[in-house]
């Protein structure tokens, strides 16, 4: 539990009064919040007040607070912010039908004073507690209101938890958090399109990945590093799982192989899922309450068992061929093919040992480690959940001569990468790492079918505001 110190505006949070109400009965408190609803039109009035820690009922009575203030609150609009002073009391229990068990005692504040901090306009662009479903576009245009909805708030609370647990785990395995530049000069490492920009008088780009820089940190003897930061890709993709700016959770570690960092990853995901299952059921229940209202299946946090299955590339191709699909060794495994694999392995699973041909220049290969057709395999891997790719990773090439050969064979000019390859000329540890899409992991955890749900202010092809 956090320490919610009193502030200039409030003595207690609403969550505190909910949780410790019994100890606070009779105490004078000042609380603040958004007015979610008010009920009653006569000589009394009930206000549902909400802050970032919970909800609480405030009870107003004409002869306690005065007719004028009672009227003011009764006329106040939903989502206005109010400050109440009053006394904590136990709520009168609701009437229950014969045979039903009464709910546990709950608490309220009997108001003696009120201040309107801000009055909300009407109508709201979207209702916080309304039962109608709301289109994603409307929600994203009004994210500040969308976030006030309980299940949306729960998703972003979970997002913060996932990052926290992930960090925690890596730190226990000796990793240190780093930050790498997001403005880069080198044209490209191949593959994806970059967003160009001007860095004073020099053409530059927004970084597509911390890849080369986290490797430089390893070459610098940092041993084990991680970074949680943005990556930018100027691709014209338009799908439920792609964004043009996204948060990448990256690690890099010395003296490790592809198999070693797969181990780090599965232990980290296991830790995250275990902690969420133990600590954050409240958020899951909030999401499920919403899902039930929308007639969606509830979600549950099933801690995956270790180790995750490993289906190497050759085996995956075989599996897809056995399902009757036209696919050859050397082809990419696309979404429909992933459905075939996911039918057998619905949860997290690794896809290691891709053809070297298909992997970037910095991926390591063991000479002569060949696939069924005799082509060179690489030490690159993916992590999928169902049909969706979560991670791409691998052991890196640490021999500078091989690295430069790889660059040339990919049609790149080694001289453009001197800032990187120079790091390998003065002793280089074998190392490996991966990059994990945080939003995609959250999709799995929260049952979201669109990555935009799990990103506060998503940037896609059609959206740069808000």
Partner RNA sequence: GCCCGCUUGGUGUAGAGGUUAUCAUGCAGGAUUGUCAUUCCUGCGACCCGGGUUCAAUUCCCGGAGCGGGCGCCA
Length of the chain in residues, anyone?
466
Q: Which is nearer to RNA, 23 or 130 (CB)?
A: 130
Q: Which is nearer to RNA, 236 or 328 (CB)?
A: 236
Among residues 443, 431, 434, 268, which one has the least CA distance to residue 351? 434
Q: Which is nearer to RNA, 58 or 311 (CB)?
A: 58
* Helices of type H across 359-417: 400-409
Q: Which residues of 375-393 are buried (b: 16+ CB within 10 A; e: fewer)?
A: eebbbbbbbbbbbbbbbbb
Which residues pair with residue 232 across a beta bridge?
245
Q: What is the DSSP secondary-structure string of 152-186?
A: HHHHHHHHHHHHHHHHHHHHHTT-EE----SEE-S
Q: Which is nearer to RNA, 70 or 319 (CB)?
A: 70
CA distances from 299 to 157, 216, 285, 291, 447 (A): 16, 41, 9, 8, 6
Contacts of 117 by beta carbon, 8 Å cutoff, 6+ apart: 32, 80, 81, 82, 83
Q: Which is nearer to RNA, 9 or 240 (CB)?
A: 240
CB-based contact 341:325 (threshold 8 Å)? no
Q: Which is nearer to RNA, 308 or 420 (CB)?
A: 420
Among residues 188, 198, 201, which one has the least CA distance to residue 232? 188
Q: Provide the pairing of β-strand 183-184 with 107-118.
A: unpaired
Q: Tell the smallest beta-carbon distance from residue 92 to RNA (Å).
A: 4
Q: Tell the smallest beta-carbon distance from residue 279 to RNA (Å).
A: 27
Q: Tell the smallest beta-carbon distance from residue 334 to RNA (Å).
A: 4
Q: Tell the smallest beta-carbon distance from residue 282 to RNA (Å).
A: 18
Q: Tell the smallest beta-carbon distance from residue 3 to RNA (Å).
A: 29
Q: Which is nearer to RNA, 212 or 428 (CB)?
A: 212
Q: Tell the smallest beta-carbon distance from residue 262 to RNA (Å).
A: 16
Q: Which is nearer to RNA, 39 or 176 (CB)?
A: 39
Q: Is 309 helix (H, G, I), strand (E, B) or coil?
A: coil
Contacts of 120 by beta carbon, 8 Å cutoff, 6+ apart: 77, 78, 79, 80, 81
Six token digits for residue 210: 């911390």
Q: Tell the smallest beta-carbon distance from residue 87 to RNA (Å).
A: 10
**Residue numbers of the site for RNA (CB under 7 A)?**
37, 39-42, 44, 46, 48, 57, 59, 61, 75, 77-78, 89, 91-95, 108, 110, 122-127, 130-138, 189-192, 208-209, 211-212, 231, 233, 235-240, 242, 332, 334-336, 360, 392, 435, 449-450, 462-463
Distance CA 217, CA 178 (A): 9
Q: Tell the smallest beta-carbon distance from residue 331 to RNA (Å).
A: 10
Q: Which is nearer to RNA, 36 or 259 (CB)?
A: 36
Contacts of 429 by beta carbon, 8 Å cutoff, 6+ apart: 218, 219, 254, 255, 398
């Amino acid at each position: 539990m956090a320490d919610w110190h009193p502030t200039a505006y409030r003595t207690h949070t609403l969550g505190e009064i909910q949780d410790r109400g019994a100890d606070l009965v009779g105490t004078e408190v000042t609380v603040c919040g958004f007015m979610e609803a008010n009920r009653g039109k006569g000589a009394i009035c009930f206000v549902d007040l909400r802050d970032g820690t919970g909800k609480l009922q405030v009870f107003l009575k004409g002869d306690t607070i005065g007719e004028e203030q009672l009227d003011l609150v009764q006329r106040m609009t939903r989502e206005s912010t109010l400050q109440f002073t009053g006394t904590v009391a136990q709520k009168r229990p609701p009437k229950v039908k014969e045979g039903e068990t009464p709910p546990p005692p709950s608490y309220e504040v009997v108001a003696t004073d009120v201040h309107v901090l801000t009055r909300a306009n009407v109508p709201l662009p979207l209702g916080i507690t309304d039962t109608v479903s709301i289109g994603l576009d409307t929600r994203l245009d009004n994210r500040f209101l969308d976030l006030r909805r309980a299940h949306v708030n729960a998703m972003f609370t979970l997002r913060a938890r996932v990052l926290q647990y992930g960090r925690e785990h890596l730190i226990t395995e000796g990793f240190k958090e780093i930050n790498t530049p997001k403005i880069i000069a080198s044209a490209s490492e191949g593959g994806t399109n970059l967003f160009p920009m001007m860095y004073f008088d020099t053409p530059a780009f927004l970084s597509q990945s911390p890849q080369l820089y986290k490797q430089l940190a390893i070459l610098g003897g940092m041993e084990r590093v991680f970074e949680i930061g943005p990556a930018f890709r100027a691709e014209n993709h338009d799908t439920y799982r792609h964004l043009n700016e996204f948060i990448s959770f990256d690690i890099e570690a010395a003296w490790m192989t592809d198999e070693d960092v797969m181990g780090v990853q599965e232990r980290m995901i296991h830790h995250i899922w275990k902690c969420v299952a133990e600590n954050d059921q409240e958020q899951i229940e909030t999401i499920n309450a919403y899902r039930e209202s929308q007639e969606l299946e509830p979600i549950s946090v099933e801690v995956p068992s270790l180790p995750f299955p490993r289906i190497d590339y050759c085996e995956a191709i075989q599996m897809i061929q056995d399902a009757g699909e036209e696919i050859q060794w050397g082809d990419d495994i696309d979404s429909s093919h992933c459905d075939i694999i996911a039918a057998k392995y619905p949860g997290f699973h690794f896809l290691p040992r891709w053809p070297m041909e298909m992997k970037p220049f910095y991926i390591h290969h063991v000479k002569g480690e060949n696939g069924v057709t005799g082509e060179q395999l690489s030490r690159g891997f993916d992590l999928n959940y169902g049909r969706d790719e979560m991670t791409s990773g691998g052991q890196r090439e640490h021999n500078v001569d091989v690295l430069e050969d790889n660059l040339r064979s990919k049609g790149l000019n080694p001289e453009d990468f001197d800032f990187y390859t120079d790091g390998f000329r003065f002793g280089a540890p074998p190392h490996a790492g991966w990059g994990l899409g945080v939003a995609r992991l959250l999709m799995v955890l929260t049952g979201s079918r669109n990555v935009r749900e799990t990103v506060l202010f998503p940037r896609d092809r059609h959206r740069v505001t808000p």
